[in-house]
Amino acid sequence: MSDKKTLLIEKRNSELFLRPRFSIDLEENSEVIINRFSEAFKKEEISFRGSFVDGHVFISVAKEDEHFWSPQLHLEVLERPGNKSELKGLFGPKPQVWTLFMFIHFVIGISFLGFCVLLYTKLSLKESIIFPLIMMVFLPLFWILLYFLGKIGKDTGKSQMQELHDFMIEYI
C-alpha cells in the first residue's frame, strides 16, 4: 500500500439496482493496482479469495463464510492517460445464482408471450379464456416476487458487500 493518502471519489449508481456499480479514478497505473491485489491474496490472514483475468480482479468471500446469497466483487482496472487508471466495480451474486435468476426471468418472459398468443387464439375461437388470463396475471406477479427475492438476497449479503468494499479500498 502506498504511504501517501489521496482523496478517493467514488461514483455510484442508484441503490435501486440489484447489482450496484461504482467507479473510482486512481493516480496510479493499472499494473500497480493489480499487483497490489495479487500480493494481498498471497497473505494468509486475508479471508477473501481472488482471481485475475487480464485487467479484471474477482474477489469472493472465504469458503467457510459463503452462503447462497454471498456477493462477489468484480473489479476492472482501466488504463487512463497520464499514468493513471480507473477502477470500475460491480457487486453481484455468484455467477451460478445470477445465471439461475436470468434463466427464470427468461422462462417467465417467454411463457408470458406464449400465454398472450394462447389468449388471442382462445378469444378468436370463442373458447374459454380463463386459464391464459389467470397465467397472464400470475406471471407478472411472480416476476415481481423474483425482484423482491433478489432484493432480500442483496440485503442478506450486504454486510459481506461492505467487507469486500472495505478490503478493496484498503488495497487500492
Q: How confident is the model at residue 1 (pLDDT cuts 50, 70, 90)?
A: very low
- Encode 20-36: b = buried (16+ Cβ within 10 Å), e = exposed: bebbbebeeebeebbeb
pLDDT at position 148, please? 92
Mean pLDDT over 81-94 rounds to 90
Q: How far apart are the first and last CA of the chain?
A: 7
Mean pLDDT over 133-160 rounds to 92
By percentage, how much of the chain surpasses pLDDT 70? 91
**Residue 172 or residue 139, greater confidence:** 139
Q: Is 136 exposed, middle or buried (0-12, 13-18, 19+ CB in 10 A)?
A: middle
Q: How confident is the model at residue 10 (pLDDT cuts 50, 70, 90)?
A: confident
Task: Bin 111: left if φ > 0, else alpha if -120 < ψ < 50, else beta.
Answer: alpha
Contact 89, 75 (CB under 8 A): yes
pLDDT beyond 90 at 139? yes
pLDDT digits (tens, 9 = 90+) for 150-167: 889 888 988 999 999 999
Q: Provide the residue range defining the domain that includes 111.
A: 1-172
SS3 1: coil
Q: Report the domain count for the chain.
A: 1
Please list the residues that pair with 80 across neighbouring strands. Answer: 84
Mean pLDDT over 141-155 rounds to 90
HSE-CB for 155 with a 13 A CA cutoff? 7
By percentage, how much of the chain surpasses pLDDT 90? 66
Mean pLDDT over 82-108 rounds to 92
